[in-house]
Amino acid sequence: MQPNVDTRQKQLAAWCSLVLSFCRHRKLYTLDVLEAQESPIFNNKKIERKLSVEAIQIVFEELRKKGGFLHALAKRELESIVSKNGLVNSVFTLYELSNGDDTENEEFHGLEDWMLLRSLQALQAEGKAEVITVEDGKGVKFF
């Protein structure tokens, strides 16, 4: 990691963008430090270089500060599906979103409920959705 504060901020922004792109490409919604240390994003075996565990933790902490990458990708996908399919003011259960026929081709299809809920809570915090309790569990209304 760069010692200069300004350079380090730019470096962290680049790492965060790279990690999110990597996770999106590989359809990863979670990544732990030990996994990450051996993944191609942080470990270039051709040139025998890898980012230290400490540096990976710094990148992960920066991602966490920005809202985390656990739900960032799913949140983007949810916003996209709501907008492109005109689902504003529609109500869905978590099951319909993560396992329904209508979302089969979406990147978040099959996402675990706890992670989907975190994404929906992030949308709720932005005023774009409301997480509600329905008879068989949780649901969401999109705005």
Q: List pLDDT tens digits, range 43-63.
A: 999 999 999 999 999 999 888
**Is the confidence at residue 7, as pLDDT, over 80?**
yes
CATH of the domain spanning 5-65, picked from 1.10.10.10, 1.10.357.10, 1.10.10.570, 1.10.3720.10: 1.10.10.570
C-alpha of 5 from chain center: 26
pTM of the model: 0.60
Pairing mode, if any, of strands 137-142 and 129-134? antiparallel
Share of the chain above pLDDT 70, in %: 94
Which residues partner with 50 through β-bridges?
43
CB 69 within 8 A of CB 61: no
* pLDDT reported for residue 67: 66
Task: Write down the architecture of domain 72-142 according to CATH.
Answer: Orthogonal Bundle (1.10)
Rg (Cα) of the chain, in Å, rounded?
17
Domain regions of the chain by residue span: 5-65, 72-142
Of 96, 104, 108, residue with least CA distance to 138: 96
> Measured between alpha carbons, how far is 21 from 4 in angstroms, rounded to an integer?
25
> Could you report the per-residue pLDDT of 71-114, keeping only the tens digit for each?
565 677 788 878 887 888 888 888 888 888 878 887 777 888 88
> Measured between alpha carbons, how far is 101 from 32 in angstroms, rounded to an integer?
31
Mean pLDDT of 7-26: 90
**Is the confidence at residue 68, as pLDDT, over 70?**
no
**Is the confidence at residue 70, as pLDDT, over 60?**
no
* pLDDT reported for residue 122: 82
